[in-house]
């Protein structure tokens, strides 16, 4: 699906970006918001990068495999960044600041997933999950915030998950990493309030992306595991739901809307209605009933 560019946007004193009527998508580059998107080589990150680039934003996507000097073959510019490395994150952020003078928006999207029972997950596997999903986002936040605070403006959108609101069976450490990101972002919002920088959580459900193929099973999730049968059923359900998931364009459109929102809410759920509605019920239903519904949805009740 294609969309006509609305042109670059200007940042107003309220910290949000608003459309500037009559601007061409390729013009006035100095006023077009600069967006940094981690994990932009595929899936949600790439969709957001392509969409915002087409809407006139100046987009830098990151990937561990991209050249650090940058690559414009994707339309938007791809640069190298390994979110598990302090030095790699620092170099990438400095590159964008040197090229553009500022970073207006960050989408912390880089992440991966492991699957397996909590008991079957080694400490090293758990640390690796947090290294990307939690500490990776933290590294990027720490790298971009000094320049945002100095300008008194900016938006950080951290990609969590509906699994950051409810623990997912056999994705316990993935959920734990997202729970951690949720808590840190809540605190970050309050800390940044007097500095003019906004922070939000985007909580996707299942989307049709490469995440399914990239998910890793923990080493101990073998036939000899006492959890093997239920794990196999849960994993099959996960993969089926993801293969029929929502279009990641939903997230791209949400991000554009958040960029233009003066005072965003702390969190935004996005995805299929059934999933977002069910997760929303956790606020009104007894916890044991929510637990049963989650187990039933994974065919392990």
Position 50 pLDDT exceeds 90: yes
Domain span holding position 152: 9-297
41 is catalytic: yes
pLDDT of residue 69: 59
Q: What percent of the chain has pLDDT over 90?
A: 71
Q: Domain for residue 177, yes or no?
A: yes
Residue 283 is part of a domain; what is its CATH number?
3.40.50.720
Catalytic residue among 51, 174, 227, 298: 174
Q: Domain for residue 273, yes or no?
A: yes
Q: How many residues belong to the chain? A: 301
Domain count, the chain: 1
pLDDT of residue 21: 32
Q: Domain for residue 184, yes or no?
A: yes
Q: Which residues contact 88 (CB under 8 A, 6 or more apart)?
A: 68, 80, 81, 82
pLDDT of residue 27: 40
pLDDT of residue 22: 33
Q: Domain for residue 3, yes or no?
A: no
Place 1 in a pLDDT band, splitting at 50, 70 and 90.
Answer: very low
* Mean pLDDT computed over 236-263: 92
Torsion of CA 245, 59, 78, 131, to 10 degrees: -60
Position 104 pLDDT exceeds 80: yes
174 is catalytic: yes
The pTM of the full predicted model, rounded to 2 decimals, is 0.87
pLDDT of residue 15: 56
Q: Domain for residue 4, yes or no?
A: no
178 is catalytic: yes
Catalytic residue among 51, 60, 63, 160: 160
Q: Domain for residue 1, yes or no?
A: no
pLDDT of residue 70: 62
* Mean pLDDT computed over 281-288: 87
Assigned token pair, 242: 């993801």
Q: Domain for residue 91, yes or no?
A: yes
């Amino acid at each position: 699906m294609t969309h006509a560019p609305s042109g670059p946007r200007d940042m107003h004193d309220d910290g949000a970006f608003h459309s500037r009527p009559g601007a061409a998508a390729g013009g006035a580059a100095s006023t077009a918001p600069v967006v940094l998107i981690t994990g932009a080589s595929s899936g949600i990150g790439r969709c957001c990068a392509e969409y915002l680039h087409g809407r006139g934003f100046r987009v830098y996507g990151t990937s561990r495999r991209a050249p650090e000097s940058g690559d414009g073959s994707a339309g938007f510019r791809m640069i190298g960044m390994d979110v598990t490395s302090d030095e790699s994150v620092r170099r990438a952020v400095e590159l964008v600041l040197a090229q553009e003078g500022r970073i207006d928006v960050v989408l912390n999207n880089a992440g991966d997933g492991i699957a397996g029972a909590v008991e079957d997950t080694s400490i090293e596997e758990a640390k690796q999950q947090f290294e990307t999903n939690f500490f990776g986002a933290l590294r990027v936040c720490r790298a971009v915030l000094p320049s945002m605070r100095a300008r008194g403006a900016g938006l950080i959108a951290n990609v969590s998950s509906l699994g950051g609101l409810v623990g997912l069976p056999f994705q316990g450490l993935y959920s734990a990493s997202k729970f951690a990101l949720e808590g840190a972002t809540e605190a970050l919002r309050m800390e940044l309030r007097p500095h003019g920088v906004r922070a939000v959580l985007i909580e996707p459900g299942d989307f049709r992306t490469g995440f399914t193929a990239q998910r890793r099973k923990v080493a101990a999730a073998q036939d000899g595991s006492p959890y093997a049968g239920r794990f196999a059923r849960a994993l099959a359900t996960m993969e089926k739901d993801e293969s029929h998931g929502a279009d990641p364009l939903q997230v791209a459109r949400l991000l554009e809307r958040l960029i233009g929102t003066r005072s965003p809410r702390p969190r935004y759920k996005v995805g299929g209605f059934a999933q977002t509605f069910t997760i929303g019920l956790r606020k009104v239903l007894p916890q044991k009933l929510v637990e049963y519904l989650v187990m039933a949805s994974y065919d392990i009740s």
